[in-house]
Amino acid sequence: MSSTTRRARRALTTAGVGAAVALIPLAAHAATIVPIEYDAVGTSTIAKTGSDVGLGPTTLSTDLDVETGNFTGSLPLPGTRTNFKAAGLLPVQADVAFVEVAPVTGFINLSGDIASVDATATYNVELSNIKILGFPTFTGTKCQTTTPVTIPVGTEPGVGFDLTEGGRLVGEYTIGDFADCGANTGLINALVPGPGNTVEIDVSNGRFL
């Protein structure tokens, strides 16, 4: 049995699921998958506009391989609305949707005194219902990033992640160009795409399924 498996089993047992863990086969080369769900809510700050985009509340669903520490999962995000000023003057409003295009993948390191998490989520970013100075503009129904946006997140240095209580995940990502946004395509690509966008997600209330 690997040290990762032993630590995962101790963590799971501490979480009050020792009876269930005792039934998990521990063959050295067999993946041992434990489904865990979390509540998740957060914020992303778009660097070029200085605007905040609410993320969630939603559910993070994961399948953790306690033998390796690897996990896959899903973090669907409900649509939201953001406000910012173009060129610091013109008020702009837009509906924003992060549409999942690939499973969340990651790794939880249980080998140290403090568990740490690294994960990657991938979304298309869609914009709609854009208003400038309060007036509707034609954006169409297919305004989105030309390539999916990859968002890496992880625990902050020295801050742990608990399998049942969760923790905070932070990251920084780049937004690429948009297409199919009608007359707004040029304006959006001048205002939104670029690096340095940040994300913070609070994960809590872990539930073993």
Give the torsion sign (CA, 12, 17, 19, 23): negative
> Pairing between strand 194-208 and 149-154?
unpaired
Tokens for 48?
């070029």
Q: Where are the domains of the chain?
A: 1-30, 32-208
Tell me the percentage of the chain whose pLDDT exceeds 70: 85
Q: In this structure, what are the phi and psi dihedrals at residue 161, rounded to the nearest 5 degrees?
A: -125, 130
Q: What is the pLDDT of residue 84?
A: 86
For 103-137, write each residue's pLDDT tens digit.
999 999 988 778 999 999 999 999 999 998 888 88
Lowest-confidence segment of 64-68, 123-127, 148-152, 168-172 by average pLDDT = 64-68
Report the predicted TM-score, pTM, of the whole model to 2 decimal places.
0.84
Q: Which amino acid, one-letter code, is at 100?
A: E
Domain 32-208, second-level architecture: Beta Barrel (2.40)
Distance linking the first and last C-alpha atoms of the chain: 23
Q: What is the pLDDT of residue 10?
A: 53
